[in-house]
């Protein structure tokens, strides 16, 4: 009897594993179709996948994207209204609805869903600035943008350029040594999101920190590709040559989607960093447990809002795996906060960093 139960359990587990692999494989194929602008093929594949896995939020999300890019706006609208009810998708689906309604010239509906997305913590300022579906909101002055900064430019040895800004402490003295922080912004890593981070996160009382805010290397346009990684290493060397950084090593922090770049960079270039901090980050869901264990040598701070159960769950799992591997992890829930995490604006994040 026990042997039979054991075989049944193995069969169930094998079937479940196959199901997950099948869904992942089909999603990857659909994603490649979308990125190659083969929207009709993506739509057919995703519709077929949903018939088999109707509760998979990622499949619904990509289905909505494919329909929207294929200009099937009414069908996309219906899909996004379904996606908004999946845990963790509220901000993303509302943002897509803002675009769908904007592309149909429905100003009030676009504004409503834009505000819902923003209030739920969607902070991709680069997309706020560039998305055609938000053109009406921008023209009506209904989207607030931070003041643009003048960025310094580093020419990396591999010929990429890295725009960046350095926020110095009050009464900066070039003869003194300061803590160093590399701060990855939310959004797509562009200048608009960096402007937002400088204005909201890194403006305020600061007597001991040199804060480096990089913009995604150009023309690469994405974080942590092989060329971008080497360009950022050159930036770290340049900053160390220009300023007296304590122990010649930095803390690294990522806010929201910037958490992915911060976590990856901290492992790819361990010798530059003292600790890694992510704030409201959902990127930990993309890491396999075996890779999370690689953070063992470096202190990690995981900061989340208590009002975001989905993101709390992701960060709690990462914490548990890291702790089991012997890592030094601080898990911090900020009470009374949604995903905007406004209580940490104005340099308040500095107090949470590992010393």
* The pLDDT value given to residue 59: 94
18 and 109 both lie in a single domain: yes
Domain with 45, as residue range(s), is 2-139
CB atoms within 10 A of CB 155: 12
Instruction: Specify if 144 maps to a domain.
Output: no
Distance CA 133, CA 142 (A): 13
User: DSSP strand E in 188-240: where?
Assistant: 209-214
Q: CB neighbours of 64 closer than 8 A, spacing ≥ 6?
A: 76, 79, 80, 83, 93, 96
Report the mean per-residue pLDDT for the chain: 91
* The pLDDT value given to residue 210: 98
174 and 123 both lie in a single domain: no
Spatial contact of 238 and 164, defined as CB atoms under 8 Å apart: no
Distance CA 299, CA 273 (A): 10
Please count the structural domains in the chain: 2
Distance CA 215, CA 185 (A): 8
CB atoms within 10 A of CB 178: 19
Among the candidates 105, 139, 173, a domain finishes at: 139
Name the stretches of the chain with pLDDT < 70. 1-23, 354-355
Give the chain's end-to-end CA distance (angstroms, integer): 57
Distance CA 206, CA 348 (A): 9
Read off the CATH number of the domain in which 200 is found. 3.40.50.1820
Q: What is the pLDDT of residues 318-354, one digit of tens each?
A: 999 999 999 999 999 999 888 889 999 999 999 998 5
């Amino acid at each position: 009897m026990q042997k039979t139960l054991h075989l049944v359990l193995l069969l169930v587990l094998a079937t479940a594993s196959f199901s997950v692999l099948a869904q992942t494989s089909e999603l990857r194929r659909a994603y490649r179709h979308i990125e190659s602008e083969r929207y009709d093929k993506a739509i057919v594949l995703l519709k077929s996948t949903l018939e088999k896995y109707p509760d998979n939020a990622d499949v619904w999300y990509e289905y909505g994207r494919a329909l929207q890019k294929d200009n099937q706006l009414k069908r996309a609208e219906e899909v996004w209204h379904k996606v908004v009810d999946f845990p963790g998708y509220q901000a993303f689906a509302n943002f897509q609805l803002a675009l769908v309604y904007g592309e149909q010239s429905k100003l009030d509906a676009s504004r409503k869903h834009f505000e819902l997305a923003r209030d739920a913590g969607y902070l991709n300022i680069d997309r706020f600035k560039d998305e055609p579906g938000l053109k009406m909101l921008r023209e009506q002055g209904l989207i607030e943008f931070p003041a643009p900064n003048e960025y310094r430019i580093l020419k990396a040895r591999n010929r990429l350029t890295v725009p960046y800004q350095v926020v110095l402490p009050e009464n900066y003295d070039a003869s003194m040594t300061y803590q160093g922080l590399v701060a990855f912004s939310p959004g797509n890593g562009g200048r608009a999101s960096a402007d937002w981070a400088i204005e909201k996160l890194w403006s305020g009382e600061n007597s001991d920190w040199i804060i480096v805010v990089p913009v995604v290397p150009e023309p690469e346009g994405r974080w942590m590709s092989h060329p971008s990684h080497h360009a950022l290493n050159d930036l770290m060397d340049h900053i160390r040559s220009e300023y007296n950084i304590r122990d010649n090593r930095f803390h690294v922090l990522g806010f929201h989607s910037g958490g992915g770049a911060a976590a990856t960079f901290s492992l790819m270039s361990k010798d530059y960093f003292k600790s890694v901090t992510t704030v409201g980050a959902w990127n930990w869901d993309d890491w396999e447990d075996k890779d999370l264990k690689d953070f063992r040598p470096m202190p990690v701070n995981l900061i989340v809002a208590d009002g975001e159960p989905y993101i709390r769950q992701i960060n709690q799992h990462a914490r548990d795996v890291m702790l089991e591997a012997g890592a030094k992890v601080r898990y911090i829930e900020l009470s009374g906060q949604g995903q905007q995490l406004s209580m940490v604006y104005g340099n308040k994040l500095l107090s949470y960093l590992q010393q």
